[in-house]
Structure 1
Amino acid sequence: MKALKIFLASITPGLFLIGYNIGTGSITTMASAGASYGMSMTWALLLSCIFTYFLVVIFGQYTAVTGNTVLSSFKQQFGKGFALFVLGSLLLSEWVSCMGVMGVVIQVVQEWSRPLTASGEGFNPVLLAAIFGAVLYGLFWQGQHRFFEKILSVFVGIMGITFILTMFMVIPDPKEVIAGLVPKIPDGTNKLLLVAGMVGTTMGAILYVVRSILVQEKGWTVRDLKLEKRDAFVSAAAMFVLSIAIMASAAGTLYPRGLKVENAIDMVNLLEPLAGRFAISIFVAGIVSAGLSSLFPIVILAPWLLADYNNKPRNMRSTSSRLLVLFGVALGFVVPVFGGRPVFVMIISQALAAIATPVVLGLMLILINRPSIMGGYKASRQRNLLMGVIVLFTVMMAVAGIVGIAGQI
């Protein structure tokens, strides 16, 4: 038991990334891919998770070697202009994402709860937003990083168990999963948008900026590089397993019947008659856990990013931090109160994040090649080649996403 606790403590930064990364946007994208194309998109998911592992290692190693976080380094090495562009893009993307994620979670719970209410309209969305918002802000009020890690670990655990259970209830033919590892673009009107969405939800720039902060919080140095790599592997592997479980749940039930998933509500409406009330209840619990596990890091990112930019200690109990988090929580009321399409809001947030990703990776490529910064840990030729390929890949995916979104408007 003691050994297990030590191991879990050593991978908490990775668990934090999983909690942030596997949210309602990932669920909708993976379920849509599974419903539309079965398991034929498995290759795109695997490739993005491999790239994510490599980048998580790079950004973590940079902070372990230099002791500096990403945004403060960008400001110091490239000037305020680049740093403010990255900071502004990430903050805007995360605040828009707050609206979309909370909207999706509330709509899913409301749809699931319709049979439980006399009116048949489900639980009141504003009341649900108030409850979820109060839970998030109450958890944040503790103000301790270790407490944040424990909460995220619980959310990730619940999410993982529920999605994997659902997959085994409706699992498709394993041969389909293996066949899906062969790279190909299937026929379909939204194929580019889906591929870009799968990559975007797995390889967003914010993931790597946060990784840098987490490594500094953990106090890892060059002596911990082996531990940092193991943590990165656990994180990327878990992202792949959870994402493939969601895709398989849709591929095993909806794909054979030609049913499509356009948003999170579709998953509730379409899966329930096929998988049963119990299975869909488990799946909804996973969606709620995924939503909260991504909302919790999202609302605390604003004070983290600003502290990173200003190269100041992260004091989560300061008045400014609490006001920023309260603002993020308040954004969760936008869709329930004023209406709107939360999935479309999520698409906007992912598009904003896609703009910053190639910039962040390009700037990091420059930094890891400066001997004055990295010393003996300067990037090798092989690492530079792979990093260059990934930067080009993210640019291609950003373009594909913009073309895909334009085709849906």
Structure 2
Amino acid sequence: MATADNKNSFLKKIIKIILAFGPGIFAIGYTIGTGSVTSMIVAGSKFNMQLLWVLLLSCLFSGVLMFAYGNYGLITGDTALYGFKKHLKYGKALAILIIIGITFGQWNSLMGILGISSNIIYEILAINFEGLSDHKYGIVLTIAVIIIVVFYLLMLIGKYSFFEKILVIFVTLMGFSFIFSLYFVNPLPNDVVKGLMPTIPDVPGGKMLVAAFVGTTMAAATFLSRPLFVQGKGWTLKNLKQQKRDSIVASILIFIISGTIMAVAAGALFYEGKEVTHVIDMANTLEPVAGKWAVTIFFFGALSAGLSSIFPCLLIAPLLLADYQSGKLDTNSKQFRIVTFIACLVALIGPAFGANPIEIQILSQVFNVFVLPAVILGIILLVNNKKVMKDYKTSIWVNVGLYAAMFFSLVISFNGIVALTEYF
């Protein structure tokens, strides 16, 4: 009896720790979606662990940017775009540019996310029920419509704590699914070490994947939304240390989960000479070594990743507009309902035209890098303005991190332009 009580007590403690996780859960939800999963699997299958260094740098700079934006929000009480408009000389134009750029990237990403999630559910059904292959288009489109309608209805409930709890469930399932998958396959330790040495694969698609990596891991939406989610959590100046810890933990978890996905793909596919071009190929990541049961678990992780990204992607446009207008997000407003409804319609474009969701997803991640330098420049100017920061001094190490992130984002943006010109 005592053993059962101890087990229940231990389980309650774990659940309490997971639910206590702060706004960082949104960072993980934004970052590790099907875009990240797709990029990591394609990279692992094509290039082994060669792009691990890109992931490491992206996560490092993501942690710095989350911390800087979170501190700015707690100290000033302002949100990001509202702060740009209020305090920067050309802040209004910068804010509008950022809203357009991020919304375009996130809505494109939403098409890929919905397409991949619908295809994953279809593939799970096809594994268990024969004869569905003749009706793939209709089934995938029907699943996509059901998913987006359900999520839109959930959005109308509109409370921060509600969104946070659902994301906690999806992110936890996703993390455990991928880490469990790593038990079946893993890359050679030597390849992991080599992957930390900066190199860009000199093959068609190499530059594209580097840009996609940064676009999905250093997601501008993650940092811009940070002050709003910090406010939604009810944090104040007393929570500065907690905000710092939350940023660090979020960036570490993003690196661990993303690296695990890449390692699974490298261990299962790269050594076999197989590549991923369609959603069903992702099943091949585990089937040769672990059978259909493990494939279902891996798909379940990928599906959790997709569903955990739909909420943040639907939220981003109304969130940015509210940020720009007043710094407050009203999830019960008419504007919120209309903008999220438009986002839902955009999400259905990919499945409706039967487009390859993997190509859509990688391209959308590349577009995300172009707005990143503007987002980093804005926060550098704000956190170093003594009047704005109320005499709070930003440390030299945070500034070094921000300027390094700026340089990195400019290099990757240039790389992204080269990649797109080669692609088109």
Report if aligned partners of 1:12, 1:153 keep a CA contact under 8 Å in 2. Answer: no
- In structure 2, runs of 5+ residues without a counterpart are 1-8
Distance in 2, matches of 1:71 and 1:178, equals 40
What is the aligned partner in structure 2 of residue 335 from structure 1? 350
Instruction: Report the secondary structure of 1:118's partner residue.
Output: coil
Cα deviation, residue 139, structure 1: 2.1
1:33 partner amino acid: A
How many residue pairs get matched? 409
- Give the one of 72, 81, 84 matched to 2:96: 84
Q: Does 1:211 align with 2:226?
A: yes
What is the aligned partner in structure 2 of residue 13 from structure 1? 23
The 1:182/1:130 distance shift into structure 2, 3 A limit, reads same
2:116 partner amino acid: V
Deviations 1:367-403 (A, max 9, x none): 1111101133233334323311210100111111221
What is the aligned partner in structure 2 of residue 48 from structure 1? 58
1:118 partner amino acid: G
What is the aligned partner in structure 2 of residue 118 from structure 1? 131
1:190 partner amino acid: G
- In structure 1, runs of 5+ residues without a counterpart are none
2:43 partner amino acid: A
Deviation larger for 3-12 or 129-138? 3-12
Deviation larger for 272-281 or 157-166? 272-281
What is the aligned partner in structure 2 of residue 134 from structure 1? 149
The 1:10/1:352 distance shift into structure 2, 3 A limit, reads same
Q: Does 1:166 align with 2:166?
A: no
RMSD: 2.1
- 1:9-408 to structure 2, matched below 5 A, reads 9-78=19-88, 79-115=91-127, 116-121=129-134, 124-269=139-284, 271-408=286-423
Deviation larger for 58-67 or 346-355? 346-355
Q: TM-score, normalised on structure 2?
A: 0.90
2:92 partner amino acid: K
Report if aligned partners of 1:68, 1:216 keep a CA contact under 8 Å in 2. Answer: no
The 1:313/1:369 distance shift into structure 2, 3 A limit, reads closer
Deviation larger for 279-288 or 105-114? 105-114
Deviation larger for 64-73 or 207-216? 207-216
Distance in 2, matches of 1:253 and 1:136, equals 33
Deviations 1:191-234 (A, max 9, x none): 22222221221102111001121112223233211100111111
2:375 partner amino acid: V
What is the aligned partner in structure 1 of residue 5 from structure 2? none
Deviation larger for 373-382 or 83-92? 373-382
Distance in 2, matches of 1:348 and 1:254, equals 22
Distance in 1, matches of 2:132 and 2:209, equals 36
Deviation larger for 71-80 or 200-209? 71-80
The 1:406/1:109 distance shift into structure 2, 3 A limit, reads farther
Distance in 2, matches of 1:407 and 1:280, equals 34
The 1:5/1:25 distance shift into structure 2, 3 A limit, reads closer
Deviations 1:15-45 (A, max 9, x none): 1211121011111111111111212322221
